[in-house]
Amino acid sequence: MNEKSSKDRLKTIGYIILVLQLIMCILVGAKKQGFHEDEYYSYYSSNRTAGLFVTDRQWQDTHTIKDEFVVIPGQGFNYSLVSTVQSWDVHPPLYYDILHTACSILPRLFSKWLGIVVNMIAFVIAWFLLLKLMDLLRVTDVTRLLVLAIWGFNPMTISFVMFTRMYMWMTAFIIGCALLHIRLLQATRGVQNTILLSGHKSMFMFWLRYIFPVMICSYLGFLTHYYYLIFFVFIGFCYVAWLLFRGSGNKVKISKKIYAGSVYVISCAVALLLAIATYPSAAAHIFAGYRGTEAISEFSTLANFPSRILFFMGLMNDGVFAGVFLVMAIVLLVCFILLRIRVSSEYMMLVITGAAYFVVVAKTGLLLGDTSNRYEMPVYWLYILIIITALELVLYEVSLKLETRKFLPLKLKENLETIGKALLFVFCGFMIVWAVTCDLTGSRILFLYEEEGEKVEYARDNRDVLALVLYNSATPDKVWWITNELLEYPKIYFVSEENDTAIDDEAILSSDKLIVYAADDDNQQKMLQMIVDSSDKLDGYKEVGHEENWTTYEITGGSNN
């Protein structure tokens, strides 16, 4: 009864932690004021209507711009359009299908909360999958809560709940992939080879229960992000290697092992082929798309290998582990060697797969500053799990070793295990407090763009003033990076910075104040002066704001440039 009561209490604490983490996501989400350019693309490629475009010397109603980011009545749940739009880009469509579903439920709504809530659902799925994975790994109840607390409150985890892209869903499928492979390994071991020695009917039932779920997860994971394939291939390789070369009490012919391994490999290949058949553009994206060819080119170049590893290691060290990962990893590795601690097949599979994924992605991912965390974030949970469980095991082994030392006082020997647990709790407590502090202060949270709040407010305050966009014809797509601000105006007048012909629009010429969003370009100042010279009511301009690629100006009468 006491043991059941204790487990129920820990389960309740776990649910409280999950609720607090979801509340934290809402609190952090409330601070989000702007969007990364890729987030705009997520909404656009999920809900595209007629297509975004810029004109030269023409007005465009902003409601037609907004229509490209929302589902308009009558176009909801149009998944064929989502796949078509995504085929023009470099990503598979499943995440965009999910986002499109949310937008279809709430048509005409363009809100950060749609993307955040979609990712919060993925977070909850990932949370329970990680809990189940730790159950299979026989992680102690208290340590499970510590791992879930550290991962769930971690600033990088919260950051990617904020980021309206596919990475939180990819995390869920990668955890699912790890869970199903650990489950498959343990099932294979549990039957003590009888499945390899029995008939086809038994093999089919084993396949249906343990391999078919792997196929489903991998089908969905591949259609969420192609990087899922890296994790899947390496954990599959580890499983097949374990299957072929493991020792066992029963004598099993190698042909039987090869047969079982072949069933697994063929099943996985079928799942991927079905994914490609569902979305034929996948093959072109990987082997011919600009990101696919770029990644292959980067992988074949060895010169930048050390710098890339150090770059991504630094991101994880600072963003996930408060700067202590490298020290902890080295100390724990030395302890494992000196104490001759054996690692289970399950953990070895996860360590090898996690390391291989990290290296391959570090070699091929884009170098985009802190936002490059997106590529490694789907396995950050794994490194947290490994560090915490390895620390717990090392402290336990050290306590066992010290118990045999005669020079230690008996009182101290009796409390060695308690001291070890206390050290584990201190470290985990530090990680949790650091993570929560980062969340509340926003010091390491990405994708909030709080500074854009003032810019949107400025646009809202001036919504009755005519607004112009001077865009760079070489990069017209960057116009949509300031969509949040442009949507505050009823209409926008677009002007190419490569066309210096005097403006003749009557509304502009009769206005004594204009708001101008000018793209960074060599012609920027020339074009601003052209606008001033075009009207008798305007005589100067001044800068009122700046952001990446764009500067905001007020053009008025009685001002000086």
Beta strands 550-556 and 540-547 are antiparallel
Residue 381 has pLDDT above 90, yes or no: yes
* pLDDT tens-digit series, residues 525-546: 999 999 999 999 999 999 999 9
User: Could you tell me which residue, 150 or 288, shows the higher pLDDT?
Assistant: 150
pLDDT grade for 287, boundaries at 50, 70 and 90? confident
Contact by Cβ (8 Å): 445, 159:
yes
Q: In this predicted structure, what is the pLDDT of residue 256?
A: 81
Q: Output the pLDDT for position 225.
A: 97
Q: Residue 544: phi, psi to the nearest 5? A: -120, -5
Q: At what angle do helices 345-364 and 380-403 cross, to 10 degrees?
A: 140
- What is the 3-class SS of 366-405, one letter each residue? CCECECCHHHHHHHHHHHHHHHHHHHHHHHHHHHHHHHCC
What would you measure as the largest C-alpha separation in the chain, in angstroms? 97
For the record, the structure tokens of 95 come out as 């995440």
Q: Which two tokens stand for residue 511?
A: 């206005």
Q: What is the mean pLDDT of the chain?
A: 93
Q: What is the token pair recorded at 515?
A: 């708001």
Nearest in space to 495 (alpha carbons), one of 537, 555, 540: 555
pLDDT band at residue 251 under the 50/70/90 scheme: low
Choose the weakest-confidence range: 103-112, 401-410, 513-522: 401-410
Between 347 and 298, the more confident residue is 347
d(CA 293, CA 284): 10
Mean pLDDT of 230-253: 86
Q: How far apart are CA 537 and CA 20, in angstroms?
A: 57
519 contacts 475 by C-beta, under 8 angstroms? yes
pLDDT tens, position by position, 492-537: 999 999 999 999 999 999 999 999 999 998 999 999 999 999 999 9
Q: Which two tokens stand for residue 148?
A: 């879930």
pLDDT at 217 over 60: yes
* Closest by Cα among 392, 400, 397 to 140: 392
Q: What angle do CA 52, 56, 62 make, to 5 degrees?
A: 45
Least-confidence region, from 34-38, 47-51, 354-358, 401-405: 401-405
pLDDT score at 505: 96
The two tokens of residue 75 are 């176009």
Average pLDDT score over residue span 431-437: 98
User: What are the DSSP E strand ranges found in 285-385?
Assistant: none
Mean per-residue pLDDT, 255-280: 94
How many residues does this entry show for the chain? 561
- Listed range (121-130, 171-180, 296-305) with the worst mean pLDDT: 296-305
* pLDDT at residue 282, rounded to an integer: 95
Whether 222 and 232 have beta carbons less than 8 Å apart is answered as yes
Instruction: Please tell me the predicted confidence (pLDDT) of residue 100.
Output: 98
Residue range 158-183: mean pLDDT, rounded = 98
Residue 530 tokens, joined: 């052209």
With cut-offs at 50, 70 and 90, classify the pLDDT of residue 304: confident
H or E element: which one contains 556? Answer: strand 550-556
**pLDDT tens by residue, 317-360:** 999 999 999 999 999 999 999 999 999 999 999 999 999 999 99
pTM of the model: 0.95
Which pLDDT belongs to residue 197?
Answer: 45
Contacts of 364 (CB under 8 A, 6+ apart): 295, 296, 298, 299
pLDDT at 195 over 70: no
List, in sequence order, every beta strand (DSSP E) within 466-512: 466-471, 491-496
Q: Specify the residue for token string 């730790």.
A: 134
Cβ proximity of 324 and 382 under 8 Å: no
Percent of the chain beyond pLDDT 90? 84
3-state helix, strand, coil in the chain (%, to 5): 65, 5, 25
- Name which of 367, 361, 552, 366 is nearest 469 in CA terms: 552
